[in-house]
Structure 1
Amino acid sequence: MSTTPHTIPCGAIIVAAGNSRRLGHDKLTWTLDGVTVLRRSINAFIDAKNIHSIVVVCPLDRWNEIDHGNFTKPVTRVDGGKERQDSVAAGFAALPTDTQLVAVHDGARPLVSPHDIDRCVEAAHAFGAAALARRATETMKRSDDKDFNTAPVDRHNLWCMETPQVFRVDLLCEATNAITRDNITATDEVSAIEQLGTKVKFVESTSPNLKITTPADLTLAEALVKIQKTS
């Protein structure tokens, strides 16, 4: 019997364990058109046809501040760890044992589209590892330690990394074990997978997928939600 991404158990880990109060308010419980940032992220994975189960890694007090009812897919909450990789490991441990693909997503990216999630899962099914990303479109420059320009950078093959990042379970396990063994702090899961020498297929975003880190990001996200609602 042939397999497709929809028939292969793919679990999602939504990472929302970090300190998100740099805006003076918890950005993950900020509302966009009446729905919290974190719940919007969860909803996107509920709506993605290739996702079978979801683990949200966040503190209990944050979980209690969002609407966490009426889920149409299995959703579990677990506490996070000191580093991102610790939180991902905690989420991974809570996934169903038959999970074969794992999608890791930043909870602060509430505008990710279910379509892009599904495309990323399909690429990981084909290649073993895939990540949503956006081609660099601005002129790129490299600077010295005093922030003066030193040389131009060819942007032709440069990508801005986003999430979700999706991997076969065995690859993610091996990468997690490697960075723990070698005491490496990985900024994202692609960085961890690269430690194995494994190539990751980039999947180009087809819709806005900004990460909310500043007040300006919140303002932009609110505007984008309004546009999406009326389009």
Structure 2
Amino acid sequence: MSISAIIVAAGSSRRMGFDKLSAPLLGKAVLLRTVEAFCAAPSIDEVFVVSPKERFADLLGCKFPKPVHQVDGGADRQDSVEKGLHALPQGTTIVAVHDGARPMIAVDAIEDCIQSARQYGASTLARRVTETLKRSDSEGFVRSGVDRDNLWFMETPQCFQVNVLRGAYMQVREKNHLVTDEVSAVELLGASTHIVESRKPNIKITLPSDLDMAAYLLNKENSPL
């Protein structure tokens, strides 16, 4: 019985204009910070980085306290996650799937999601919607408000009992669906995913300005009071 992490890091970074996962963030590559966080989580036994070999090469000189493996990515996110699932060793009971571009993930958030997946079968880190939401018409004019109670922004990690996620992706393939995260895949099974509230910064690096924000937040986190 073991617990593994799949770090999804196979994207092309088109919106950034450069490889965001190799970009330096306070002296360390974004992807390196992400992998280090999962290696620091007590429940994680090994880490599978789904990425091109060239990107994984940035990690080869690093010493990690746990096994870190490279897995070739697929044509899209769900293909990459499936490749990660195929790479898991026999006996893996829980898997945590995480965006490589979320380098600020807190170890306690990882642990909370894993514990939730143990109990409920599926869990996700998510952040409450706190801003005002409006619905528009097709021409871009505001037409009505949206009740934000019980609305959440999905984040990662998303953690699952392995048989649940594998069954979900079988459904995705059989029904020829395209999903953007693992919770969406599990929904096709009719299964419920338990929410673990995200209370610390867990920014996803998507635009160049996100690197600046992440650096600011890390500096603030590490500054003495």
Displacement of 1:25: 1.6
| Distance in 2, Cα, partners of 1:29 & 1:61 | 10
Which residue is equivalent to 1:148?
Answer: 141
| Distance in 1, Cα, partners of 2:137 & 2:66 | 49
SS at match of 1:27: coil
| Distance in 1, Cα, partners of 2:163 & 2:138 | 39
1:123-178 CA-partner distances (Å, limit 9, x unpaired): 00010000000001101111222222121111110000000000111110110000
> TM-score of the superposition, structure 2-length normalised?
0.96
Which residue is equivalent to 2:56?
Answer: 63
1:48 to 16, 41, 51: 41
Give the ranges of 4+ consecutive aligned residues of structure 1 lying more than 4 Å apart after TM superposition. none
What is the aligned length?
224
Is 2:89 the partner of 1:96? Answer: yes
Which residue is equivalent to 2:4?
Answer: 11
Is 2:182 the partner of 1:189? Answer: yes
Which residue is equivalent to 2:158?
Answer: 165
Displacement of 1:65: 3.2
Displacement of 1:67: 5.5
SS at match of 1:190: helix
**Cα RMSD (Å) of the superposition?**
1.2
Where do 5+ consecutive residues of structure 1 fail to align?
1-7
Q: Decide which moves more: 100-109 or 90-99.
A: 90-99
Is 2:200 the partner of 1:198? Answer: no
**What is the one-letter code of the residue matched to 2:79?**
D
Which residue is equivalent to 1:76?
Answer: 69
Where do 5+ consecutive residues of structure 2 fail to align?
none
| Distance in 2, Cα, partners of 1:66 & 1:53 | 15
> TM-score of the superposition, structure 1-length normalised?
0.94
